[in-house]
Chain A
C-alpha cells in the first residue's frame, strides 16, 4: 500500500470510530471500545520492538505497568492531577524501557524473551510483597504501591465534573481515541522512516546491517526508548480510566492475549495490531457466554488463525493470496459453467 492509501484508510477508520458514540450510548460498549483502544495502542508500540526490530521482548506489559503505577502513585500519594501524572508515567516508561533495552543487548532470540519475562515477573512479585505501611492516615495501612490489592480512588481526568456522570465515558472515549491516533501516527512515521529501515535491516541480517553502517547497540536501545513513551502514556490512561491499578495487569494471561493479538494480526506490519486486537477482542466478546470454555475457544481461534494466516491477517491480505484465490474461483466457475453447458449434449 502506498502512503496515501494508508492515510486514507486511517482517516476512514478514524471517522468511523469517532462516530461510534453517536450510534450507541451503552456504557458497556463504549467501555469495551476504550479497552480496545488501550490494548491496540499497547500492541502497536510493542510491535515496533517485537515485530519491526525483531527483538523478542516480553517486557511490554511491565513498561505499560510502570507508566500506570507511576501515574497512580503520584495521584494517590501526592494528589497530583491525573493529566500531569500520565505524562510523568510516559517518561518513567521511557527510562524503564531504555534500561531494559540495554539489558537485552548481549542476548539473542529466546533468551531476550526469558530475561524480559523474568523482569516483569519480578516487578509483579515486588508489588505483591509490598506490605510496609507508608501511613496510617485513615486507620488503614497504606503501602507505597498498594500491594496485592492495588491502588484505587486516586482521581481521574475530571470528565465527571466537566460532562456529568452519564457522559464522562465520552470524554475518556475521545481521549483514548486521541492517544491511539497519535501513537499510531508515531509508529507509522517510524516504520516508514530511515530509522524503521535500520530496525528492519538489523532484524533481517544484523551482520550485513553492521557492514552497511548500522550500529546495532544504538538502534536496539533506541527502539526500546521510542516504544516506551506511548506504552507508558496508555498505562497512565488505563489507571485514570479505571481509577484503579493492581498487580493483575502483569498477569501472564494478559501478556499472552496481547502477544497472540499481534501474531494473529501480523507481526511487524503496521496494520497488524489493529486487525489482531479487533479480531481477538471481538471473538472474546462472542465467547462471553461460554464461561470456562472461553479460554479454550480463544486458543482454538488462535490456532486456526495461525494455520490459515501464517503471516497474520494483514500479511494474508497484502500477499495477493486473496487475488489468487479469487482468480481460482473465477476459473472454477468458468469451468463449471462450461461443463454445465456441455453436459446436455453428451
Chain B
C-alpha cells in the first residue's frame, strides 16, 4: 500500500516524439514505481524503441515531460541521464567492439556512474572490484579477455546488460533482451533479469515481443499501438483485451497466452 503513496520513480507526462509528419510517440503518460517491472509490448512500429530513445536522451522529445527521481530529465543529454541513474540496453547488440569484455564493463562503470570531470590515468580498485563482481554474476567470466566482436549473440546480450548494470542504475530499460535467442537462452536471460531485480534491487522497464518473457517477468504490462497506450494492467489481462487481440496478438497467440498464464498460476 505504501508503494502507491510514494512518488513514482519515473513519470512520463504527455511525452510526444514527432519525426516530420509521423508521430512515433503520441502524448504518452505513464508512471513506473520503485521496485516494479513494467513490460511494454505492441506491434512493430508502435513507438516502443522511440520511447526508450526519448527517455534515455538519445533523441530529444518533441514535447512532454519526463521526471526521474524527482528531477526533470526531459532535455538532459544522454550521458547526464546515465549518470543520474537511468541506463538502457539496445535492440541491436550494441557494444564497444574493439574493446574486451572487461574493458567494456570497466569503461561503462567508470564513466556511467557519475559525471567524470577529468578521467584519471588508471581505473581505481573499487571500480575494478565492482566490475569483477558484475562480470561474474552476468556469466561472462570465461570471456573477460575476449574482444566484444568475437562474442556469441547471447554473450553480447549479457555484456549489454552487464555494461548497463555497471553504471549502477536505479532504473534499467531493456530493449528486447531475448530477441534472437533460442528457448534455452531465453530461459537463461529471464533468469538473469530476475536476479538483476532481486540482487541489485533495480527497477526495470522491458520491451519484449516474446510473451513468455513478459509473463514471467512483469508486474504490469503496457501495450502500445501507433504511439499510444492501448492497454495497461496485469499480464493476465492482455490476452482477454479485445483491442490488444485485434491489433497485436491475434486469436491464436491470445489463446496460447491464456494457457501460459494458467500454467504459471498452477505452478505458483
Q: Write the residues of chain A forming the contact surface with B, with a CB cutoff of 8 angstroms.
A: 189, 193-195, 197-198, 200-201, 203-205, 207-215, 268
- Chain A residues with Cβ below 8 Å from B95 are 204-205, 208
- Chain A residues with Cβ below 8 Å from B1 are none
Option from B96, B119, B122 in Cβ contact (under 8 Å) with A205: B96
Can you list 13 A-B contacts with CB-CB less than 8 angstroms, sorted by A residue number?
A193-B121, A195-B119, A197-B96, A198-B111, A200-B98, A201-B96, A204-B97, A204-B99, A210-B79, A211-B90, A212-B163, A213-B111, A215-B79
Option from A189, A198, A205, A212 in Cβ contact (under 8 Å) with B167: A212
- Distance in angstroms from B255 CB to nearest chain A CB is 38
Verify A200–B96 contact, CB threshold 8 A: yes
- Chain A residues with Cβ below 8 Å from B115 are 213
- Whether B82 is near chain A, meaning CB under 8 Å from some CB there, is yes
Option from B87, B107, B113 in Cβ contact (under 8 Å) with A211: B87
- Distance in angstroms from A222 CB to nearest chain B CB is 9
Verify A194–B111 contact, CB threshold 8 A: yes
Verify A197–B107 contact, CB threshold 8 A: yes
Verify A211–B106 contact, CB threshold 8 A: no
Determine chain A's interface SS by DSSP, over half rule.
helix
- Whether B120 is near chain A, meaning CB under 8 Å from some CB there, is yes
- Given A194-B110, A194-B111, answer yes or no on A213-B83 (Cβ-Cβ < 8 Å): yes
- Chain A residues with Cβ below 8 Å from B164 are 212
CA of A210 to CA of B96, assembled, Å: 12
- Whether B78 is near chain A, meaning CB under 8 Å from some CB there, is yes
- Distance in angstroms from A267 CB to nearest chain B CB is 11
Determine chain B's interface SS by DSSP, over half rule.
loop
- Chain A residues with Cβ below 8 Å from B87 are 211-212
- Given A194-B111, A194-B123, A198-B119, answer yes or no on A213-B82 (Cβ-Cβ < 8 Å): yes
- Distance in angstroms from B60 CB to nearest chain A CB is 13
Interface residues on B, range: 35 or more
CA of A268 to CA of B97, assembled, Å: 13
Verify B79–A268 contact, CB threshold 8 A: no
- Whether B77 is near chain A, meaning CB under 8 Å from some CB there, is yes
- Whether B138 is near chain A, meaning CB under 8 Å from some CB there, is no
Q: Which chain B residues (27-47) contact chain A, with CB distance < 8 Å?
A: none
Verify B111–A205 contact, CB threshold 8 A: no
- Distance in angstroms from B148 CB to nearest chain A CB is 8
Verify B119–A194 contact, CB threshold 8 A: yes
CA of A208 to CA of B160, assembled, Å: 10
A193's nearest neighbour on chain B, judged by CB, is B121
- Distance in angstroms from B86 CB to nearest chain A CB is 9
- Distance in angstroms from A140 CB to nearest chain B CB is 49
CA of A207 to CA of B77, assembled, Å: 11
Verify B98–A204 contact, CB threshold 8 A: yes
- Whether B112 is near chain A, meaning CB under 8 Å from some CB there, is yes
CA of A195 to CA of B108, assembled, Å: 12
- Chain A residues with Cβ below 8 Å from B97 are 204-205
- Whether B94 is near chain A, meaning CB under 8 Å from some CB there, is yes
Option from B99, B112, B120, B122 in Cβ contact (under 8 Å) with A213: B112
- Whether B225 is near chain A, meaning CB under 8 Å from some CB there, is no
- Whether B116 is near chain A, meaning CB under 8 Å from some CB there, is yes
Q: Give the interface centre of A194, A200, A204, A268 by most chain B CB atoms within 10 Å.
A: A194
A189's nearest neighbour on chain B, judged by CB, is B121
- Whether B58 is near chain A, meaning CB under 8 Å from some CB there, is yes
Contact with A along B69-94 (1 / 0, CB 8 A): 00000000111001100011010001
- Whether B103 is near chain A, meaning CB under 8 Å from some CB there, is yes
- Whether B56 is near chain A, meaning CB under 8 Å from some CB there, is yes
Verify A213–B90 contact, CB threshold 8 A: no
- Chain B residues with Cβ below 8 Å from A195 are 119, 121
- Given A197-B99, A205-B97, answer yes or no on A211-B58 (Cβ-Cβ < 8 Å): yes
